[in-house]
Amino acid sequence: MPDSRTIRLLLPAAAALLVAAAFLVGYYFLAPAPEAEHATVLPEPRELPAFELRDQHGEAWTGSDLEDQWHVLFFGFTHCPDVCPITLGVLANAVTRMDNAGHKSPRVVFVTVDPERDDEQRVGEYAGYFHDAFIGVTGEREQTDSFARAAAIGVQRHPADDAGDYLIDHTASLVVVDPQGRIAAYFTPPLEPAAIAADMRIIMGQRR
């Protein structure tokens, strides 16, 4: 059993440890939350109007499918020559980075802006080529156009050439949707996997 002299010597050290522990706990819980550096986070999440599209299995895909989990939406088309495959590749890299680091990653949804050529099977295969967890979504043209407008994604179709091929200009932003099905943030090009992964961790509130 330690004598009184030993106890007197240990008390300051114990007190110092307690102060240090209190400081660390206070810093962790009271320090300002880190802010996203590359994403544009909306001051208030924006509600999406009701919509009904179809997923890659031909099932109805509605607002309820955006609930209970974070999502990242990317609007594009499978005949896209460059922007779409590059962006989906970047997203796959970002998701893999989060998964490998032990962070929960968002669900990625590829929404076609070219439903005439992109049916359920095609969008599913295209999205799955980049990552097996990615989801493909299509619908009638009026539905996909309306959903794109609601997400502030611009879409402009070019006239078809003699072979019937055409291109579509579209906003290349990523749309971040919170677990309540509301738009919470946007990522705009240029897009980098590490930046997306880091900011999504902050947006999703993953502190570790």
Opening angle at CA 52, ends 51 and 54, nearest 5 = 145
Domain boundaries, the chain: 1-31, 40-203
Q: What pLDDT, in 10s, does the model give residues 155-204?
A: 999 999 999 999 999 999 999 999 999 999 999 999 999 999 999 999 99
Quickly list H helices, the chain. Answer: 4-30, 83-100, 120-130, 141-150, 193-203
Residue 2 is predicted with a pLDDT of 55
Q: How far apart are CA 102 and CA 92, in angstroms?
A: 16
pTM score of the predicted model: 0.84
Residue 165 is predicted with a pLDDT of 94
Exposed/middle/buried for 29, CB within 10 Å: 0-12, 13-18, 19+?
exposed
Lowest mean pLDDT among 1-5, 62-66, 113-117, 135-139: 1-5
> Looking at the domain 40-203, which fold is it?
Glutaredoxin (3.40.30)
Residue 33 is predicted with a pLDDT of 64
Q: What pLDDT, in 10s, does the model give residues 12-69?
A: 544 445 444 444 444 444 445 678 999 999 999 999 999 999 999 999 999 999 999 9
